[in-house]
Chain A
Amino acid sequence: MVVQSVLSATINYKLLKVFEFSRYNMQDRIKYWKGIEELENTPEFAKHAHNEFPEFLPLNESKSEGSSSGASVTNTKRRDFLKLLGFSVAAVSLASCEAPVRKAIPYLNKPVDLEPGVANWYASTYYSQGDYSSILIKTREGRPIKIEPNPTSTLTPLGTSPKTQASVLGVYDNNRLRTPLIKGKEAEWEQVDSQITSALNSVNGKVAFVSTTIISPSTKKLINEFGGRFGNFEHVVYDPYSVSALLNANGGVVPGYDFSKANIIVGINADFLGAWIASTPIAKQYIQNRKVSSDNREMSRHYQFETRLSMTGANADVRVPIRPSQEATFVAALYNSITGQGSNAPEGIDKKAFDAAVRDLRANRGRVLVVSGSNNPAVQTLVTAINQTLGAEGTTIDPASPYYVKQGNDAQMIRLIEEMNAGTVGAVFFYNANPAYDHPLAARVASGLKKVGLKVSFAERVDETAALVDFVTPDNNYLESWNDHEPKRGYLSLTQPALSPIFMTRQMQDSLLAWSGSNTTYYDYLRNNWRPLATGDFNTFWEQSVHDGVLENGASLLAVNTAVINPMSVGAALSAASSSSATSGVEAVIYEKSQIGPGNDINNPWLQETPDPISKATWGNYIAMPRSMAESDELKVVQGDIVRVTLANGTALELPALIQPGQASGTIAIALGYGRDLESMPVAKGLGANAYPLITVSDNALIYSVPVKIEKTDANSPIAQTQTHHTVMDRIVVQENTLAKYKEDPKDVTEYVRIATHDGPAKPATISMWDDYEYKDHHWGMVIDLNSCIGCGACTVSCNIENNIPVVGKAEVLNRREMHWMRIDRYYSSVEHKEGEYSKMEDPADNPAVIFQPMLCQHCNHAPCETVCPVAATMHSSEGINQMAYNRCVGTRYCANNCPYKVRRFNWFAYFDNEKFATQNYMMNSDLGQMVLNPDVVVRARGVMEKCSFCVQRVQLGKLEAKRERRRPKDGEIITACAQSCPTEAIIFGDMLDPESRISKVLVKEQGERAFHVLEEINTQPNVTYLTKIRNLA
């Protein structure tokens, strides 16, 4: 009941918003006039159009009357004054009692396919900086509000990355450009078009089109056609986080990895589950071979040799820290061992682990995969050779279907920068490219741009590069665009607009067409480009493709430029790699955070507040260093102390130190993307420091590790972490065991707490003072497989969006007040200690085992929170959901205190309509931002407790739809946001009363094996069940 009433209120409110929405693009849109006066636009109306109350107040009138008729003057005035006084007092006192009424305006003419309160779904595609997902866009009353995976896709049917989830907000970013700019001034498209066209006609020198990787076949074709008319045209592709060496060693493409076929995976500084390449499809493959059950007791074994503790390394069965300067010798040694030319582990690397890896690799020929994230051509050449030697080609690497998600070529970009500086470039276009920030030679880009005649950026906002160009012709957001994609050969997908452009922006492709003098739109161009793919009627084929979002019949459109590839011979690589010497000083690695990437989505507050999977830090970057370094006599820093990092060439940056277990000794790690200082990115402004200048350019390649000098400064800057205690303190809140033991006896891998009774040890749930709830229709529950969770945080972001969870900003995260309903607890194993030795237990090991545990409301059947609320604002539903009646809550916080899982979140402030949170939480503080809010979920008031509701709005919707069709809800129809967005299917949600549901089957199967409840001994009887993590230790 409560939910329904809340629903109707929000729907009304949001309907109003639809009309406000129309304000943003008045020109081409239907206009709603206030009254007949506005339509006719009488001078009277125009005069008062800006007044809130266009009519005169009687006070003025009586005044003018009074002045004309002598004696009655004073009388009238006094009476009117009293009337007005009385009215004002009454109005003010009434107004202070009642909140203003915000009326809902119904559609006069309802759009055909738009039903108020009913979501429309559009298949589309997200691609940004290597991160690819085929998606479904949920729109409500014309507004995109949520992104879900497209189950039709075979690449990414399960979930999305956190970045994909959060990308829905990009379209509502107030800092996007509303019009094109000419030299920083707002302009009309006509002006821009005529000026650019004429400039292009007289262009002198090279015309360069700079972009990050484009996986759209039609866009690439269009760019080439656009350039065709210039004598000297080059499409320069670079990636802020380059995989140039990988491409070079593999014929210009990312090899078609298939992790699901690999029994042995060796990762060498490759964060393949994180930001490296196409994490979403890879995570799906990776986990496929790691799910276990008593029927399938096999799983892959994952070795990770890496410098910083990455999310991928955290998931590895065997993780070995190596220094960046050891990487080449390590790969050379690995190559030699595999090919039988000696088998010595390089100095300083755990020999046991190295030998085990070699043994496993050799024993599993054809079922192995070695990947490296290095940008050293010798390393990548050797890795390719190792894979070839071990027969990976054709099994774990599909040569017919490589990935196209990264195509950047370091040498080409560096050459262009030099050409710009040499003054030989006449025109340059930047598309999804911001090299004045995200290239190590950013300063050279800036200086080179001064010598270029025509400079155009398609940036959606005035970023670092756009600030230096003459023309900024803002591209549409991808939710407003048509496009096609081919992330992997033979896997096509389409992007379709989910709303019309909000601002006066124009898709880049349409701009190119306009400047080419073409009359076609990009939509037609795209269709024409797809015409050859059609079998049968093109329109039917097109409609179906747009509907499905994907076309996976093997057809391929994308052409990749392999002309620039300059492969290295294995021999040369081997000698180069073997001869490299380890550095003895401090080495820094520059990396991408999986949520932030290279920094293009830096203005997205959801991503900023999503904690890093490993460090759990939000809002900014830092210097991750091992404890041995922090405590060393030369440095002596504690977490938060600001440390200065200096390169040999004098480049320096200052950032706070973060003690990172697992970081290789003598190394530090710094994330990219921060250090922004632009008005167009207020969310990121002032956070962290820019690490791009630390990337070194060597032999036309970008090198992401560098020897540095570090020194302590006197300053201090706290790091906003959502978790500050890192070990599990020997508690069995999270459980893990080894595959060996699991193979032996699946019933022996989970520890179950038993209570001593007269009749012997008893399961806690069997000892109860109270009757249990009786569930008649449904009993919702969740199973979380710790073996499948990779800790990426997509669930957290998805939950935030689905449930209108406020972003609170860095200061409040530091106050430990982030509002996330769904979090991922990350525990490190402790240093060696005796039982009960608490002080040592608190210290994470130097190279800890890591375990992730998604934590959310456990929906306890005996919920400690429910009994303590004095006003019964939280209670149990008849379907097992622990629910919050927000409007009943008085905010005593007793429930949160008494929650053993600490999943309840309190609204310490009003996070909406509050100046204090206007920047960080613009989703609730600006008219535009508010459009992303889910109208099915109420925005909570100040002083109210909130928490996971098992997405009760989805449960209710699913039940209603089933009811309308006079049937029971089908399993899988109702799914929570977290479960839906999980790329590894770690979360199963369903009805535990339905014996045929997936969850019931899993629970039956895993009972007594891997299924456990967190804190079972306090007899809260959660409806969330966890499955023990199994490690395939070597």
Chain B
Amino acid sequence: MQHVSPVREPLVTGGKTYHDITEDVCRQVEAKPNVRWAAALAVSLVGLAIFIYSVYRTLWFGIGEWGLNKTVGWAWDITNFVWWVGIGHAGTLISAVLLLFRQKWRSSINRAAEAMTIFAVICAAMFPVLHMGRPWLAYWVLPLPNTFGSLWVNFNSPLLWDVFAISTYFSVSLVFWYIGLIPDFATIRDRATGPIARRAYAILSMNWTGSAKAWSRYETVSLILAGVATPLVLSVHTIVSMDFATSVIPGWHTTIFPPYFVAGAIFSGFAMVLTLMIITRKTFKLEDYITMEHIESMNKVIITTGSIVGVAYTTEFFIAWYSGVEYEAYAFINRATGPYWWAYWSMMTCNVITPQLFWIRKIRRSVTATFIISIFVNIGMWFERFVIIVTSLHRDYLPSSWAMFSPSIIDIGVYVGTIGLFFTLFFLFCKFFPVVNMAEVKAILKSSSEVTHHHSPASGMHGTAKGSNTNTHHSNE
């Protein structure tokens, strides 16, 4: 049924039909858990258990369980926080920005990317709460009317801006993701055989009917949410960067931070999407949907953003010298040559040098190479935040207070634990939710591949999607 365009690379390969798409995507949801999935989930659950234990130690005994000290008040906690938030950015970028830019190739990866966003933000949100000395009072950072007297939050504090940024980001991402899931839930509902599954997916699909009106609203809401989410791609990490940029600490007090952080976030997010996608397409045999074109496109984003952060790193050094501020100059010399030089050079290697390999088409189109480099980028971006936070703090103004930071076992446990949490959520998502947006992939099946397509590009893929879904045989499949 699929027609292959002589000019454009098809976005879905393998000669899929609408029904094939439904079958391929619903297979994992409907089939019995496969062994590889179960094994992966088991490993993740071990990670989750580590997380629970480490959090218990932190909450029960105090932050002293971590390796922090009088000089380095933040280390792995905020490093992990920024890292996870950054990872989340790719999901929003793919689903919102690429939607607005009508990048149709996004359709087959946006679902998983958005899920990744949600889970990454959940992991990220753990840290601002956990790192508090008294997390049971975390609600005090919300501007709630209260009976404590005239107590109000401090709107000058970047941490408060974080609270708003992260909570907005999370709620918008969640709604966006969920709206996108509704038609696919309906498909699963309609195919479900068991009563529990039918009932559950009925509730999840919010009684989606698939009527033209519903589709019209769906499209409108998607566009609106895309519009709302787009500025968030820029704002969230901008605000996160202000935690550092508005401070007085050399190495933190840097005006370049907002764009540099946003670029870094997209960079790390795409790397994480690649890591996950490569595993998912392999595990669930979705190579026809998540194609080499996807991988290559994302690799191009990585090389772009990787170069941007490379320029940012260099600019920081230049400004440190050019400003003539001795503290600033020392902070950067200390990064590169001080006791944490290994962290700095790990960051430089992973973030600036390795992505440059993607200039080579062969590497860019190699799944294995991409997977390895994506892991490098993930590591590099973690080190970037570690370098910014720890190497700036550990030697700031007064040499008398200079100190080293080394993580405790609990520090490591919380970090490894959030990875466990993330993958637990992700694997549950893979099993119970459609990992590829069936409705939208069906829409691009023709628009991207048919030679004799009559729709003008301006009407967009959603126009096509509606058209294709008028086919009664395939509605809601």
Contacts and interface: CB of A to CB of B under 8 A. Distances in A.
B70 A890 contact: no
Nearest to B243: A894
Contacts of B73: 893-894, 896-897, 906
Interface stretch (A30-38, A555-563, A941-949): A941-949
25 contacts: A723-B401, A726-B399, A730-B326, A733-B398, A815-B69, A817-B64, A818-B70, A855-B400, A864-B247, A867-B154, A867-B156, A868-B157, A870-B153, A889-B134, A894-B73, A894-B74, A894-B159, A901-B401, A902-B396, A906-B133, A942-B62, A942-B133, A943-B132, A944-B133, A1018-B248
B327 to A, nearest CB: 8
Interface stretch (B135-143, B193-201, B232-240, B420-428): B135-143
Given A733-B398, A943-B135, A945-B133, 13 more contacts: A817-B69, A839-B337, A867-B154, A868-B157, A868-B159, A871-B153, A890-B138, A891-B133, A900-B397, A901-B401, A908-B68, A942-B133, A1014-B398
9 smallest CB-CB distances across A and B, nearest first, come from A891-B133, A943-B133, A908-B64, A816-B69, A825-B400, A893-B73, A902-B401, A725-B402, A870-B159
Chain A, interface residues (CB within 8 Å), range: 35 or more
B275 interface: no
Contacts of A907: 62, 133
B131 interface: yes
A724 interface: yes
Contacts of A827: 399-400
Contacts of B138: 890
A23 interface: no
B330 interface: yes
B323 to A, nearest CB: 12
A126 B309 CA distance: 64
B134 A942 contact: yes
B342 interface: no
Contact of A898 (B154, B248, B326, B398): B248
A481 to B, nearest CB: 39
B247 A898 contact: yes
B140 A890 contact: yes
Interface in B58-111: 61-64, 67-71, 73-74
A943 B399 contact: no
Given A870-B159, A891-B63, A896-B70, A1015 B397 contact: yes
Interface of B: 61-64, 67-71, 73-74, 128, 131-135, 137-138, 140-141, 151-154, 156-160, 163, 243, 246-249, 326-327, 330, 333-334, 337, 393, 395-404
B54 to A, nearest CB: 16
A970 B332 CA distance: 49
Contact of B159 (A892, A944, A1015): A892
Contacts of B156: 867-868
Contact of B152 (A724, A729, A872): A872
Contacts of A869: 154, 157, 159
A943 B141 contact: no
Contacts of A838: 330, 333-334, 337
Most-contacted residue by chain A among B134, B135, B160 (CB, 10 A): B134
Given A869-B157, A871-B153, A897-B393, A902 B63 contact: no
A821 to B, nearest CB: 11
Interface in A833-884: 838-839, 853, 855, 864, 867-872
Contact of B248 (A733, A888, A900): A900
A731 B250 CA distance: 14
A638 to B, nearest CB: 14
Contacts of A815: 64, 67, 69
Nearest to B405: A816
A245 B67 CA distance: 51
Given A729-B330, A888-B151, A906-B73, A723 B157 contact: no
Interface in A202-253: none
A818 B69 CA distance: 9
A307 interface: no
Contacts of A901: 397-398, 401
A897 B62 CA distance: 18
A2 to B, nearest CB: 10
A291 interface: no
B330 A897 contact: no
A488 interface: no
Given A731-B399, A898-B247, A943 B62 contact: yes
Interface string A925-944: 00000000000000001111
A727 interface: yes
A73 interface: no
B398 to A, nearest CB: 6
Most-contacted residue by chain B among A726, A818, A839, A902 (CB, 10 A): A902
Interface string A912-931: 00000000000000000000
A353 interface: no
Nearest to A728: B399
Contacts of B133: 889-893, 906-907, 942-945
Contacts of B141: 870-871, 890
A278 to B, nearest CB: 30
B249 A897 contact: yes
Given A867-B157, A890-B132, A892-B159, A902 B71 contact: yes
Interface in A983-1034: 1014-1015, 1018, 1020
Nearest to A891: B133
A280 B458 CA distance: 89
A945 B152 CA distance: 19
A87 interface: no
A864 B248 contact: yes
Contacts of B151: 871-872, 888
A909 interface: yes
Contacts of B248: 864, 898, 900, 1018, 1020
A893 B403 contact: no
B200 to A, nearest CB: 34
Contact of A891 (B69, B132, B249): B132
Contacts of A1014: 398
A919 B154 CA distance: 40
Given A900-B248, A943-B63, A906 B159 contact: no
A842 B153 CA distance: 42
A893 B74 contact: yes
A846 to B, nearest CB: 19
A617 B160 CA distance: 39
A519 to B, nearest CB: 57
Given A816-B71, A910-B62, A870 B396 contact: no
Contacts of A898: 247-249
A146 interface: no
A71 B476 CA distance: 69
A140 interface: no
A455 interface: no
A308 interface: no
A943 B135 CA distance: 9
Interface in A707-745: 723-731, 733
A521 B397 CA distance: 60
Contacts of B159: 868-870, 892, 894
Contacts of A812: 64
Contact of B134 (A817, A823, A870, A943): A943
B164 to A, nearest CB: 11
A650 B405 CA distance: 41
A870 B154 contact: yes
Contacts of A726: 399
Contacts of A945: 133
Most-contacted residue by chain A among B158, B160, B247 (CB, 10 A): B247
B131 to A, nearest CB: 7
Contacts of A888: 140, 151
A872 B400 contact: no
B399 A727 contact: yes
Contacts of B70: 816-818, 896, 902, 904-906
